[in-house]
Amino acid sequence: MIPISKPVLGAEEKEAIARVLEKGYLAQGEDVEHFEQEFARYIGTKFAIATNSGTSALHIALASLGIGEGDEVITTAFSFFATASCILMQRTTPVFGDIDPQTYNIDPYQIEPLITERTRAIIPVHLYGQPCNMEPILEVAQKYNLYVVEDACQAHGAEYKGKRAGSIGHLGVFSFYPTKNMTTGEGGMITTSDPEITQRARMLRNQGQAERYRHEALGYNYRMTNIAAAIGSVQLSKLESFNQKRIDNAAYYNRNLRACPFIAPDVRHVFHQYTIRVNDREAFTKHLEQRGIGYGIYYPIPLHHQPPFERYNNRSLPQTEKASQEVISLPINPSLSQKELEQIVEAVNSYAGW
């Protein structure tokens, strides 16, 4: 079976772990600080704040903005659970907008009607590695004095009009889970150029400490370890080559497959997932399984139909619901061989239901 995803790790990552073990300081320290500086430079922001997961990064991002009880945050229901669960963690109300059926990202032109006097922020998600149409999102955010928090957990190295995802809004958030374009095992990162947000985010991820044993706020243990950061530094040095291989794999699919995803103009899509639509997904998945092709379905149940969010399900999201029934992702990871790519193409194109 060709797997849907596979982390690419080598001798360099093992050596980096060994160096940390030899030094004997495993918790957050110099390796984390070094990784933060490297990642900020890569994204194009002044600061980066490492955390132990993408979920905790998004939670801290919202908390560092002072978003809390009584507020509303607009986002998409077509995303991973953490995008909206972090809103609930802050006792804030999620407001779901529908998606653009071509990119699967939130439709920027449906955001303004959702804004109320309680709205504090917008969380656009750069889904599958393709950046959102950020210009109209930024315009409406500026008009109503709202924060923009980019969920770039699937968009390491993606670009919108020459700017890297995570550097466009007030904050960006990344995940380094093993299936992502780069990994630290588990881990996350917040990116921003705002020094005050950075100071508060660093405090909140470390038990609310402004200095050792002086706790200024209710914080969390969301620290990244030196081991994870050492892996991250090595992975970051390989990220561009990983992304280029994903882009090359996608280009091969685009030339040869009977169904291809839409790529918006003025973006660099880094293909965290290569996602197509099929009318009868159950039949298509059986077809792939019979031919030894792995696949992923992201996401079969939209967030507004998940139990924690059902009380907020007060509007129709037809494009979200249609996509959730039709999308399927094919293997796109950098370790795929030419033979495997050809095998995937043959399997997809031989499906009788096109």
How is residue 3 annotated by DSSP? -
pLDDT of 213 above 90: no
DSSP 242-271: HHHHHHHHHHHHHHH-SS-----TTEE---
Band of residue 210 on the pLDDT scale cut at 50, 70, 90: confident
Mean pLDDT across 229-238: 98
pLDDT of 83 above 90: yes
SS3 75: strand
CATH of the domain spanning 11-232, picked from 3.30.70.120, 1.10.540.10, 3.40.640.10, 3.20.20.60:
3.40.640.10
Tell me the HSE value of 297 on the side-chain side, using a 13 A CA sphere.
Answer: 13
Which of 135, 141, 139, 130 minimizes the C-alpha distance to 75? 141
Mean pLDDT across 218-231: 97
Mean pLDDT across 212-240: 95
Q: CA-to-CA distance for 327 and 66, rounded, in angstroms?
A: 36
pLDDT (tens digit, 9 = 90+) per residue, 150-196?
A: 999 999 999 999 999 999 999 999 999 999 999 999 999 999 999 99
Band of residue 211 on the pLDDT scale cut at 50, 70, 90: confident
Mean pLDDT across 225-241: 98
Band of residue 18 on the pLDDT scale cut at 50, 70, 90: very high
Go through 106-122 and write b for each residue having 16 or more CB atoms within 10 A of its CB, e for each that does not: bbbebbeebbeeebbbb
Mean pLDDT across 310-318: 87
For the chain, give the percent of residues with pLDDT over 70.
100
Dihedral sign computed on CA atoms, order 8, 11, 14, 15: negative
Provide the residue count of the chain: 354
CATH topology of domain 239-349: Aspartate Aminotransferase, domain 1 (3.90.1150)
SS3 119: strand
pLDDT the model gives residue 315: 83
Tell me the pLDDT of the chain averaged across its residues.
Answer: 97
pLDDT the model gives residue 288: 98
Which H helix or E strand runs over 309?
Answer: none
24 contact partners, CB below 8 Å, separation of at least 6: none
Ranges 205-214, 216-225, 245-254: which has the least confidence: 205-214
Q: Residue 228 is which amino acid?
A: A
Answer yes or no: are the C-beta atoms of 78 and 104 closer than 8 Å: yes
Dihedral sign computed on CA atoms, order 251, 254, 256, 257: positive
pLDDT the model gives residue 135: 98
pLDDT the model gives residue 354: 87
pLDDT the model gives residue 312: 87
pTM: 0.97
pLDDT the model gives residue 14: 97
Band of residue 67 on the pLDDT scale cut at 50, 70, 90: very high
pLDDT the model gives residue 96: 97
Band of residue 40 on the pLDDT scale cut at 50, 70, 90: very high
Domain ranges of the chain: 11-232, 239-349
Number of other residues whose CB lies within 10 A of the CB of residue 266: 12
pLDDT of 198 above 80: yes
β-partners of residue 10 are: none
Cα-based torsion angle of the residue sequence 259, 282, 293, 339 in order, rounded to the nearest 10 degrees: -20
